[in-house]
Structure 1
Amino acid sequence: MALVSYELEDGIAVLTLSRPEKRNAMSDAMLNDLGAAVDRAAKEAKAAVLAAKGDHFCAGLDLKEQVEKSVMEGIAGSRSWHAVFSRIQRGAIPYFAALHGAVVGGGLELAAAAHVRVADANTHFALPEAQRGIFVGGGGSVNVARLMGVARMVDMMLTGRVLSAEEAERYGVVNYVTESGGARAKAMELARIAACNAPLSNYAVINALPRIHDSGYDEGLFFESMIATLTQVTPDAQERLRAFLDKKAPRLAIPAERGGGA
């Protein structure tokens, strides 16, 4: 039985962690299944959703498996996490994470590899590695730190601080907070919207923006000019631009005014 189930719904790949009896702790076998699902999604989906069965998204690394590894096996294992997560981050399709329950340690590292994160109101986030005598090994020192900032990550790792969904939203860890039980539906809604974008634009957003952010100022602007021009001259872009100019494309969905009052 696969530890990560795979479904394709209207062009949206749904990758579901399926080890609920272990709070979806990430074992080597689950990581291998996740990698296979990611590779399949790259071939046939326009967007993807990361979800999980049971009461928790992912409680982190399978520690029982970890303590039995040698130093070199541990390094190889960490690099395997990096390889799979990189295929999520730097692939051709956007990933939306539907989070609930525990998003802890390696679970937060996995969530950080997605491009957009949606959390149920009951979700909590933690990085307890220091309390276990270890360190993040699934890309967290890069990806989680970029989301919340180094100082906040240091605080969480040193003190064992646990964030609520609302605090995680304020920290920039999650993009949306829903009512309890609503994260998957919201993630699917967002994935369907993204799947309608031009594939090259999606590719540029998830691959060019992080690299521009990491580059120097002038280099970033030069790179931006190249990517902007590349996307604009494609037949897909030309068709979409003409539809907009001819008023055949949908306009922006502007949020209703809050508060009101005369």
Structure 2
Amino acid sequence: MNYENILVTLEDSIAHIRLNRPAKRNAVNNGLLEDLEACFDSLGADATVVVISGEGAHFSAGLDLSEHQIRSPFEVLQHSQWWHRVFQKIQFGGRPVVSALHGAVVGGGLELATSTHVRVADKTTFYQLPEGQRGIFVGGGASVRVSKIIGPDRMTEMMLTGRRYNAEDGYRLGLSHYLVEEGKALDEALLLARQIATNAPLSNWASITAVANIGDMSMANGLYTESLAAAIAQSSDEANRRMQEFLNRKKG
């Protein structure tokens, strides 16, 4: 399928989605959001891991303000929930998603990045939530995803002051899991994606779905859900085969 705002390739079970609005610093407009949703809806079983990167000098500078328009409160609510729906499909779509970050990871771009499971940043990366300076509020999930990573207190400070965190700051705070040299984020992201693709599919699925949901539960419910996820994963034919291979290799 061809898209107007993203480029998609599939190689060795790795789907690579490239945000393709470089002249706009890959700012998220309605068309880009539509393309991301359609792409994740149409990915087949042959795509076991996804990599998201940005064309040009930036991953994503956030909301495309040139499309900003006066909306009624209900229209704003619906638009925000559309962003939520698309990013939920990325986070809970059943496939591990690795993002390669460089340049601006700002506003909605940070909301997109934090919906991915593994984040690799190069040293040009910077993070910002400038909504306060724009007279608006986050609407793509930052108040949940970003605040869970860096804490509500630090996110509040980011929004009030427009503070920019550099790549080293972001790595220290957990906005990225890996920090690599300039221009190397995509290479590292693809390497990690290929490694993740060798995992048992059910283990990958449980890592994506169970951990995030357990984090929202009480301790008792979380521990019970963990036991259920373990029971499903560890009793599978794939788990038994891999365990036998591991044990036989140790004996050898």
- Name the counterpart of 1:102: 104
After superposition, the CA RMSD in angstroms is 1.4
Runs (5+) with no aligned partner, structure 1: 250-262
d(CA) in 1 for partners of 2:190 and 2:209?
22
Cα shift at 1:106:
0.2
- Name the counterpart of 2:7: 5
d(CA) in 2 for partners of 1:34 and 1:226?
32
Q: In the TM superposition, what whole-angstrom CA distance separates every residue of 1:206-239 from its partner, at most 9, and x where no partner exists?
A: 1000111111111111111111111111111100
- Name the counterpart of 1:232: 234
Alignment match of 2:34 (pick from 32, 35, 43) = 32
d(CA) in 2 for partners of 1:39 and 1:11?
16
1:150 aligns with 2:152: yes
Cα shift at 1:133:
0.2
Amino acid at match of 1:115: H
Cα shift at 1:70:
3.5
What SS does the aligned partner of 1:214 have? coil
Alignment match of 1:69 (pick from 59, 68, 71) = 71
Cα shift at 1:194:
0.7
- Name the counterpart of 1:216: 218
Amino acid at match of 2:172: R
- Name the counterpart of 2:170: 168
Q: Do 1:17 and 1:24's aligned partners in 2 also have CA atoms closer than 8 Å?
A: yes
d(CA) in 2 for partners of 1:77 and 1:158?
23
- Name the counterpart of 1:93: 95
d(CA) in 2 for partners of 1:36 and 1:11?
19
- Name the counterpart of 1:19: 21
What SS does the aligned partner of 2:114 have? helix
User: Cα gap change, 1:30/1:248 in structure 2, threshold over 3 Å: closer, same or farther?
Assistant: farther
**Percent identity at matched positions?**
48
Between Structure 1 and Structure 2, how many residues are aligned? 249
Amino acid at match of 2:48: K
- Name the counterpart of 1:183: 185
d(CA) in 2 for partners of 1:148 and 1:91?
24
TM-score normalized by structure 1? 0.92
Cα shift at 1:71:
2.9
Q: In the TM superposition, what whole-angstrom CA distance separates every residue of 1:87-127 from its partner, at most 9, and x where no partner exists?
A: 11111110001000000000000000000110010100000
User: Cα gap change, 1:197/1:248 in structure 2, threshold over 3 Å: closer, same or farther?
Assistant: farther
1:51 aligns with 2:47: no
- Name the counterpart of 1:256: none
- Name the counterpart of 2:119: 117
User: Cα gap change, 1:238/1:199 in structure 2, threshold over 3 Å: closer, same or farther?
Assistant: same
TM-score normalized by structure 2? 0.96
Where do 1:187-206 residues align within 5 Å?
187-206=189-208
Cα shift at 1:20:
0.5
What SS does the aligned partner of 1:247 have? helix
The more displaced of 99-108 and 64-73 is: 64-73
